[in-house]
Structure 1
């Protein structure tokens, strides 16, 4: 056993010891534990729903059909400034299960092959390349959210996209990462196909993208999203039968590419005159929302809705127009997340700002859990939230004491106090959020470069490594990041740059590697000549 494994086991033992009273199996005295569903959608953009996360409704909100999301927002809290920890999948998912920012774990890019050279996406003419990052992804030697929840008596269930660890590593299988149940999760971040006649990608033997263990649906008419929903409801039923509280990571593959029609809804969009690509995409969004509704209904039928909290989020920003194939590559017409700029993979808001909702599945004012974790119905919160905040928030819901080792190990801050009052010192207003992506995602377009960014209040500073350039935006006045204020607001930029540099040093952030020298490039420079 490695030293890291011994340390993890010791820390987990401390978590159990600090939160266990005799005869209570790790549960707090007199407390009932809620069921917790993290409904994590893949690549769902801030504007990809009928729920308005912007100040006013947009044409996108009028186009997409997500009535169950609307209901969820109506009886819970909507977060307008929620962020993924990364503009791509694996780092965000790692931040939730580890509670740590990707820059600290060095899980800074999406993973598949446990080989840095195979994962490198910059050409020889690009001046920088990825550092020696943790390409293997999440592995069992961490104090994972799921392990701590199991110690608290929870059944832990994973459904859908995992994308935690690389192929042929222990982390590729969610059951090695603290999940009691794994339904269709493995290393890949996308399905080979959403359609049963393609066996969900298994028609090509040995494909890395083949969705595993869904053979029962090959001869059905069930889209992958629908099939996963059926399996999720079975897993909920089993947990109820076992009389155990459960944590479910309901992580749909949708709406990740390949963009394939959910045939339950596709024709409706075509008949309305919608372009084929956008009709397919909208049908996938509606299929996702239907899954939310189906699970919600099952909670009511099992009579556990009052005892179940749903946390809804996307793992990064939505695909921009050119990555959806509806505008030429490299153009500025990245409008699908408007008013946000650009999309998945980008340093700009379109790459990292995501939809987020928290709500009880059924409101009951006199319910002891809902009294303890009250959520104001139909409320909106503007506090900046980031995905590593889910780790302490979920542990708080599960009854873990804030002084425990698990709480002390996280970079996140629980957003649970916000649900009742809307404001809570130390939760968001007084801290900066930071992102570090020392890679090039792949496509060309706005912000698709290695970068580090920091947001403090209304200000957001970005450093791009390729050209060693700074950009500064006032998000309150310029949410679309169209007006770079680096020249006009040098004092603000200097302060943020100092915060950025200090944060990078504290977490041990890896900078990109210079192709010319073979060395990691220097930390962002701080000077009055910032440009």
Structure 2
């Protein structure tokens, strides 16, 4: 972890005891999430400092520790792959939210959320209307996420229904989840894969050949998502 990132993280965590003493619990919400699965890369070739990864220096501000692809896959197991992939190992991460109104602190919820749900949630918590019309001469694109605040407060309804397609793309790799089903496209192979996440969360059994009609239907949903959101690929 580069010094600037580590300093920010340590400073933020270290300030929590102070925040706890001074905060107004009625108007403070803490939301934390990782942006991706475990990183499997090595030390970048273009870097602005020379890391000292000696045993004595590990974890200090001028070290840059990476445990490689194999251990990254172990860290994300049983999910497939690591950071940078659209597979579950690259995208499925833990998150937590804290507020006095939540009746089940420490509870676990395995409902499906995406980063696109964060802004609608914050807007609902703060009572802020979503932006509309234009801003600085540019059209405001409608948000496509859903607030999960009701879910956090104990509502049992899923944030995303079984028929809601959720698309994503990174580095030419594509994915779409709809209910239990997920399609993956690899930019390296140019091939779509189809998985049933309920039965195969590790994405090891490609069902594309067994269910071509479903695959085509989900690909069409992804293409619609790409057109609506302006994905460049």
Match of 1:307 among 27, 45, 49: 27
Matches within 5 A, 1:251-400: 291=13, 294-320=14-40, 325-326=66-67, 334-360=73-99, 363=100, 370=101, 374-400=102-128
SS at match of 1:318: coil
- Structure 1 residues 408 and 398 mapped into 2: Cα distance closer, same or farther (>3 Å)? farther
Count of residues in Structure 1 that have an aligned counterpart in Structure 2: 205
**5+ residue gaps in structure 2?**
44-64, 134-139
Q: Please say if 1:461 is aligned against 2:194.
A: no
| Separation in structure 2 between the aligned mates of residue 332 and residue 303 of structure 1, nearest angstrom | 39
CA distance in 1: counterparts of 2:42 and 2:204, whole angstroms: 19
Q: Secondary structure at the match of 2:224?
A: helix
Contact 1:321 1:335 in 2 (8 A): no
Is 1:421 the equivalent of 2:204? no
**Alignment pair present for 1:502 and 2:224:** yes
1:121-270 equivalence runs, <5 A = 191=2, 194=3, 224=7, 228-229=11-12
Q: Is the 8 A contact 2:37 2:92 kept in 1?
A: yes
- Alpha-carbon distance, 1:456 to partner: 0.5
Describe the shift of the 1:313–1:224 C-alpha distance in structure 2 as closer, same or farther (beyond 3 A): same
Contact 1:322–1:334 (CA under 8 A) maintained in structure 2: no
TM, length-normalised to structure 2: 0.75
Alpha carbons 1:322, 1:333 under 8 Å: kept = no
Where does the alignment leave 5 or more consecutive residues of structure 1 unmatched?
1-189, 195-199, 201-210, 212-222, 230-290, 364-369, 440-449, 512-531
For residues 210-247 of structure 1, the C-alpha deviation after alignment (integer angstroms, 9 at most, x for no partner) is: x8xxxxxxxxxxx7257633xxxxxxxxxxxxxxxxxx
- Distance in structure 2 (CA, Å) of the matches to 1:226 and 1:409: 32
Q: TM-score, normalised by structure 1?
A: 0.35
- Partner of 2:15, secondary structure, is helix
1:390 Cα deviation after fit: 0.9
CA distance in 2, matches of 1:505, 1:420: 34
Mapped pair 1:434 → 2:167: yes
Counterpart in 1 of 2:144? 411
Q: Deviations over 1:315-338 (max 9, x none)?
A: 1122138787545x6x79832211
Greater RCO structure (CA 8 Å; 6+ sep): 1
Whether the aligned pair in 2 keeps the contact of 1:381 and 1:422 (CA below 8 Å) is no
Contact 2:35–2:93 (8 Å) recurs in 1: yes
For 1:489, the equivalent position in structure 2 comes to: 211
Larger Rg belongs to: 1
2-structure distance, mates of 1:305, 1:295: 16
Residues 419, 325 of structure 1: CA spacing in aligned structure 2 closer, same or farther, 3 A cutoff? closer
**Separation in structure 2 between the aligned mates of residue 226 and residue 354 of structure 1, nearest angstrom:** 18
Tell me, in whole angstroms, the C-alpha distance in 2 between the residues paired with 1:226 and 1:451: 29
Change (3 A) 1:224 1:322: closer
In structure 2, the residue corresponding to 1:460 is in which secondary structure? Answer: strand
CA RMSD of aligned residues (A): 3.0
* Partner-residue secondary structure (3-state), 1:343: coil
Matches of 1:408 and 1:322, distance apart in 2: 37
Q: Deviations over 1:130-174 (max 9, x none)?
A: xxxxxxxxxxxxxxxxxxxxxxxxxxxxxxxxxxxxxxxxxxxxx
CA distance in 2, matches of 1:332, 1:458: 28
In the alignment, the residues of structure 2 paired with residue 300 and residue 325 of structure 1 have an alpha-carbon distance, to the nearest angstrom, of: 33
Alignment map for 1:440-459 (pairs within 5 Å):
450-459=172-181
In the alignment, the residues of structure 2 paired with residue 307 and residue 382 of structure 1 have an alpha-carbon distance, to the nearest angstrom, of 26
**Distance in 1 separating the partners of 2:37 and 2:85:** 9
Secondary structure of the structure 1 residue equivalent to 2:75: coil
